[in-house]
Amino acid sequence: MTWLWQRAWGEATAFLRRSRGISLADLVVLAALGGIAFAVGRVAGGWTGELRPVVEIDTSPWALPGYTLLSLSRGLAAYVLSLLFTLVYGYWAAKDHRAERVLIPLLDVLQSVPVLAFMPALLLALVALFPRSNVGLELASILMIFTGQAWNMTFSFYRSVRSVPADQLEVARVYRFTWTERFRWVELPFSVIGLVWNSMMSMAGGWFFLMITEAFVLGDKDFRLPGLGSYMSVAVARGDVGAMAWAVLAMTIMIVALDQLLWRPVVVWSQKFRLEEGGQTEAAESWFLELLRRSRILAASGALAARLGAALRRRASAPRPEAPARTEPAAVQRVLSALLLAGLVLLLVLGALQLVALLRVVPARSWGLTAGAALLTLGRVLVATALGTLWALPAGLAIGLSPRLSRALQPVVQVVASFPAPMLFPAALAVMARLGMGLGAGSVVLMLLGTQWYILFNVVAGAMAVPADLREAARSYRIRGLALFRQLLFPAVLPYLVTGWVTAAGGAWNASIVSEYVTFRGQGLSTFGLGSQISAAAEKADFPLLAGSVVVMSAMVVLFNRLVWRPLNDLAEHRYSLLR
Amino acid sequence: MAEPAATAAVATATPGAVAPLCEMEHVSHVFTLPSGQKLEVLDDVSLAVKPGEVVALLGPSGCGKSTILRILAGLIQPTRGTVRYRGTALDGLAPGVAIVFQSFALFPWMTVTENVQAVLHAARLPEEEVARRASDAIRMVGLAGFEEAYPRELSGGMKQRVGMARALSLRPEVLFMDEPFSQVDALTAEALRAELLDIWAVRETNPSSILLVSHDIKEVAYMADRIVVLGANPGKVQTIVENTLPRPRDYRSREVLALVDRLHDLITGHELPDVPAAAAVAVTEVLPDAPASEIVGLLEYLDARDGKEDVFRIAAETNREFGHLLTLVKAAEMLDLVDTPKRLAVLTPEGRAFVRADPEDRKGVWKKKLLELRIFSDVRDALQEEPSHRLPRDFVLETIVLRMPAEDYERVFATWIGWARYGDLFAYDEDEGVVALQ
């Protein structure tokens, strides 16, 4: 190993000798590195601390930066986990046709299970596993965020790997790429753009339940982790308006910072993975990426890493003068995959048996109530989606069709869409109380707060994609107003609108859990519905009822996807797609 | 392990003949379509590529020439027959082969250099060798200065230069080229062909041989030592033409043009035999993959030239792939609108009447001609018997499968409904999948 170290030392001193001045960009980078080191230390301190089921949350605004960092680290940790899961699960599903038949339907179901359903099992198991430290609680929290992030990323990656062009795979075969080479040079690059967009969506989705994932009640036990979400929870429970405002501000700053410092640069960088030019012609820009690219320290460490990598490769390849015929160990892979699949199926069967045993306990009367609650919540979900469409469709068209507006507003819409709506519930509830609106109708408004953005977001994208020649044709034939909408704009954005609807309705189901059962001015409020039933069951630790309600909700979501959204999506793709 | 391989090589080498690099014997291949239907693409094909020669596979689309290339490379396992590389039966990929793809198949996220280096890394060459070979190959194809460019910044011709550099950098014994210049503009393609032959002509270095898949007769006459003329549906070897013209050749020389002429005659002889069209049609009645509008275009073109023209001149003047043009001519012949004595396409009296008629009458003639074909009249009769005069699309598909079992019925249906719509014969609702009497 010494040769490597010597080499690194040599490269570093050579760089220092070359570089005289250090630019402002370098100072910023250095400061950021210091900040990260500090944050890591602080997080580690929290993790290894003793098990304190109930942490006293300090509601002074000065405690907020620390809490925000803790929440951010949980979100990022969950994201890393989601990414790893995505790469393994998605690749497996795409490459093994036998496993695919189990993995993809399973993913479809997992996607429709509300996050809260995982909470009790995760929590009890992990706290039992680490009885003496906070690690179990932290892991449970991270895994809950993970369940809000992973599934759509996995779907995207799976679809990308499945749709790698045939000629590129042929190149990989003819030139004898190993499977790792094919993965690194062909399949992963091809999937990057889809992964980046879905990562952004996932991070936003992960924040949605932040208040629950950091502070949860399970039966007579009250768990709390220090963080932005628990800060907000405490503020809401106490009715402390000032603290709530501070929390909302901190969340906003965190989301904007993530957007500017992480996602913008990543999006710009990912542009090199486009297949061909065309589509969005406007080059994406990121001031932060520019800054990083100007930083000499980063450039030098990048170059250093590249040289060391090359040196490593040289050493690695040196003792292999003649490449032997490398056939893929297909048989080994197949056996391994079959074993894994068998294990998974076994686990699923065991889980299903457990679930059935749990559901047997639920009395018949409860099932009747659950069915009624499910129908009511379905109604709310549909009304919320319809209301969202009512304003977001015209607004989205207006924004998307005007280059000036879309340039100015699209980034704003993106940021707003990733703000976790439950943090705005207290304010919305206050307005509704003033108007004398009950939670029965009010919960629809709360759902709307979370899901309307998906519709807006997609309609804007659709409107921006309406070809200029079609718009010119409409203008020259004097098609205006309602006729223009009916004949051109609506059909053109329909595929995007359907995507928006699917996401919005899925989000609304999830949101029903927090919007039919709320805390306002220190008091619990609830209205009849499937979401409130799930929340109440979790709080009372009534596991059979919780399992039953979750099964019903997942079944509703899956059925609705199959019977309504998928046919609608097929129609939109088939009839109204402008890409063909 | 080395023993049996060596004996095999000895066994196939006949005295006096050069042992081939790649060869296939009695190879047949059947594709299974996603619908489960079987499609025979190759029927008993045997051919060989010897060291130091350029072999071309020439034929219309659908003759399975790309499939032959992929079987020889070891990418596809044939249904029947044997494939050998240097006398050893192929197990997996052929060792000394590199492929240049029609679609270039470059990785858009890699620069020119990275694209070339990727395959060298995959070949497990040491780092210095990778760098040296990549820059050599890039310089060899005339891309010096573009090392750090991404493929999207390059024109089609330059992209294919990268594809060639990638293949040549491995110094393959045989270079496989799958219609390499069909997506490159004509002038660039001429330059690329000449440069490629210059690289190949250096005897001491690889590639020793080139296997070229092409539908361009001039390209083949210019480049190949041996031309394997293939017939379609299913693909089989029609003739093998030895091309001994001295190199360097000139596209416009009398000898090359004479060879082009000979190849034209060979292909028309196979594809448009001089037998009465009706008799030929009654046996097979395969619908050629030709849109009605293009058939009409061909008739208009013939009418403007006194009703007759050399098939290959039409292809050259209209800038069409000649295989595609033959399909059009076949389709028009099937409808009795055109006759094909030798290499000519001649308007029949009915064809002339059709072209000169107004749009309404044209539809009438077209409709009458369609109904002379069983595949249309059968469906018309069935529709008339049906009280609603409507039938599901599947009914037509079954009729097609019955009449032309070897064809891809989805493609035939698309052509079928296109012809029927042009003649105002049937209506078709795509959403419901229903064919109705007009």
Phi–psi pair at A219, nearest 5 degrees? 65, -125
Q: So what's the pLDDT on residue A377?
A: 93
pLDDT confidence of residue A154: 93
Rounded-to-integer distance, Cα B293 and Cα B288, Å: 14
Strand partners, B31: B39
Second CATH level (architecture) for the domain A64-276+284-294: Orthogonal Bundle (1.10)
pLDDT at A172: 93
Split at pLDDT 50, 70, 90, the class of B275 is low
What pLDDT, on a 0 to 100 scale, did the predictor assign at position A318? 46
* Residues from chain B contacting residue A275 (CB–CB below 8 Å): 108
Amino acid letter, A542: D
Residue ranges covered by each domain of chain A: 64-276+284-294, 362-580
- pLDDT per residue rounded down to tens, chain A (580 residues): 566 666 666 666 665 555 545 566 666 777 777 777 766 666 666 666 655 556 677 888 888 898 999 999 999 999 999 999 999 999 999 988 888 888 988 888 888 888 777 777 788 888 888 877 778 888 888 998 998 889 889 988 998 898 888 889 999 999 989 888 999 999 999 999 889 988 988 888 888 888 888 887 777 777 888 899 999 988 888 888 899 999 999 999 999 998 888 888 888 888 888 776 544 444 567 777 777 777 766 777 777 777 777 666 655 554 444 444 444 556 777 888 888 888 988 988 888 888 888 888 888 888 888 999 999 999 999 999 999 999 999 999 998 888 888 888 877 887 888 888 888 888 898 888 888 888 888 899 999 988 888 899 889 888 888 887 788 888 877 888 888 888 888 888 888 898 889 888 888 988 898 889 887 777 788 889 999 998 888 888 888 888 889 889 988 888 888 898 888 888 887 777 765 4
The closest CB to that of A327, out of B92, B105, B119, belongs to B92
Nearest Cα residue to B44 out of B60, B68, B21 = B68
CATH topology classification for B18-267:
Rossmann fold (3.40.50)
**Residue A485: partners with Cβ closer than 8 Å, 6 or more residues away:** A397
- Report helix, strand and coil shares of chain A as percent, to nearest 5: 80, 5, 15
Beta bridge partners of B93: none
Quote the CA–CA distance of B155 and B153 in Å, as a whole number: 7
Convert chain B into a string of H (helix), E (strand) and C (coil): CHHHHHHHHHHHCCCCCCCCCEEEEEEEEEEECCCCCEEEEEEEEEEEECCCCEEEEECCCCCCHHHHHHHHHCCCCCCEEEEEECCEECCCCCCCEEEECCCCCCCCCCCHHHHHHHHHHHCCCCHHHHHHHHHHHHHHCCCCCCCCCCHHHCCHHHHHHHHHHHHHCCCCCEEEEECCCCCCCHHHHHHHHHHHHHHHHCCCCCCCEEEEEECCHHHHHHHCCEEEEEECCCEEEEEEEECCCCCCCCCCCHHHHHHHHHHHHHHHHHHCCCCCHHHHHHHCCCCCCCCHHHHHHHHHHHHHCCCEEEHHHHHHHHCCCHHHHHHHHHHHHHCCCEECCCCEEEECHHHHHHHHCCHHHHHHHHHHHHHCCHHHHHHHHHHHHCCCCEEEHHHHHHHHHHHCCCCCHHHHHHHHHHHHHHCCCEEEECCCCEEEEC
Chain A residue with the nearest C-alpha to that of B170: A175
Per-residue H/E/C for A109-176: HHHHCCHHHHHHHHHHHHHHHCCCECHHHHHHHHHHHHHHHHHHHHHHHHHHHHCCCHHHHHHHHHCC
Query: Mean pLDDT throughout B166-189?
Result: 90
Q: Is the pLDDT of residue B162 over 70?
A: yes
Nearest to A189 among B97, B109, B119 (CB): B109
Tracing tokens 């795509």 back to the chain, one arrives at B430
Do residue B108 and residue A274 have CB atoms under 8 angstroms apart?
yes
**Domain segments of chain B as ranges:** 18-267, 272-356, 371-438
Class of domain A362-580: mainly alpha
Query: A386: how many CB neighbours lie within 10 A of its CB?
Result: 12
Domains A64-276+284-294 and A362-580 are alike in CATH topology: yes
Average pLDDT in chain B = 85
**Distance between the two ends of chain B, CA-based, in angstroms?**
70
The contacts of residue B420 (CB under 8 Å, 6+ apart) are: B370, B376, B426, B428
Handedness of CA B330, B335, B341, B346 (dihedral sign): negative
The pLDDT value given to residue A382: 94
How far apart CA A178 and CA A190 sit, in angstroms, is 17
- Calculate how close chain A gets to B432, using CA atoms only, in Å: 12
- Which residues in chain A have their CB less than 8 angstroms from residue B109's CB? 189, 192, 272-273
Give contacts of A317 with chain B, Cβ < 8 Å: 124-127
Q: Give the model's pLDDT for residue B431.
A: 81
pLDDT of amino acid A361: 82
8 Å CB contact of B98 and A174: yes
pLDDT higher than threshold 60 for residue B270: yes
Look at residue B46 in the predicted model and tell me its pLDDT.
92
Distance of CA A308 to the CA centre of its chain: 35
pLDDT band at B56 (very low <50, low <70, confident <90, very high): very high
Give the up-direction half-sphere exposure of residue B374: CA atoms within 13 A in the CB hemisphere. 12
Lowest mean pLDDT: which of A479-488, B20-29, B295-304? Answer: A479-488
> Tokens 């795409």 appear where?
A94
Residue A523, classed as helix, strand or coil, is strand
How much is the pLDDT for A314? 58
**Residue of B118, B124, B128 lying closest to A323 (CB–CB):** B124
Strand B80-85 to B174-178 pairing:
unpaired
Residues of A in CB contact (< 8 Å) with B are 165, 167-168, 170-171, 173-178, 181, 185-186, 189, 192, 272-277, 310, 313-314, 317-318, 320-321, 323, 325, 327, 575
pLDDT in tens, B233-263: 788 888 899 988 888 888 888 888 899 888 8
Are B272-356 and B371-438 in the same CATH fold? yes
How many CB atoms sit inside 10 A of residue A326's CB? 10
Distance CA A535, CA A516 (A): 9
Measured CA distances, A367 to A90, A253, A272, A363 (Å): 36, 44, 53, 7
Q: Give kind and range of the element (H or E) at residue A224.
A: strand A221-224
What is residue B279's predicted lDDT score, i.e. its pLDDT?
A: 42
Burial of A175: CB neighbours in 10 Å, binned 0-12, 13-18, 19+: buried
What CATH class is the domain B272-356? mainly alpha
Cβ within 8 Å of residue A367, ≥6 positions away: A548
Domain B371-438, classified CATH 3.30.1330, yes or no: no
Is the peptide bond preceding residue B207 cis, with omega within 30 degrees of 0?
Answer: yes
Is A327's CB within 8 Å of B150's CB?
A: no
Q: Do B123 and A168 touch (CB under 8 A)?
A: no
What value of ipTM does the predicted structure carry?
A: 0.74
pTM of the predicted model, to two decimals? 0.80
Return the pLDDT at A213. 84
Candidates A170, A272, A275; nearest CB to B75: A170
The whole-number pLDDT of residue B213 equals 93
CB pair distance less than 8 Å for A174 and B170:
no
Chain A CB contacts of B128 under 8 Å are 314
Of B119, B126, B128, the CB nearest to A175: B119
Tell me the average pLDDT across B133-143. 91
Average pLDDT over residues B343-352: 88
Contact flag A175-B122 (C-beta cutoff 8 Å): yes
Q: What is the DSSP letter of A58?
A: P
Cβ–Cβ gap A178/B109 under 8 Å: no
How many beta-carbon pairs under 8 angstroms link A with B?
Answer: 74
Nearest Cα of chain B lies from the Cα of A94 at a distance, in angstroms, of 18
* 3-state secondary structure (DSSP) of residue A218: strand
Helix (H, G, I), strand (E, B) or coil at A208: coil
Residue A78's contacts (CB-CB under 8 Å, 6 or more residues apart) are A142, A143, A145, A146, A149, A206
β-sheet bridge partners, residue A218: A221
Nearest-by-Cβ selection for B127 from A173, A314, A327: A314
For A521, phi and psi rounded to 5 degrees? 50, 45
- Predicted local confidence at residue A114, as pLDDT: 80
| Terminal alpha carbon distance of chain A | 56
Cis peptide before A321 (omega within 30 of 0): no
Distance from CA of B169 to the nearest CA of A (A): 11
Quick check: B273 pLDDT over 70? no
pLDDT, position A325: 44
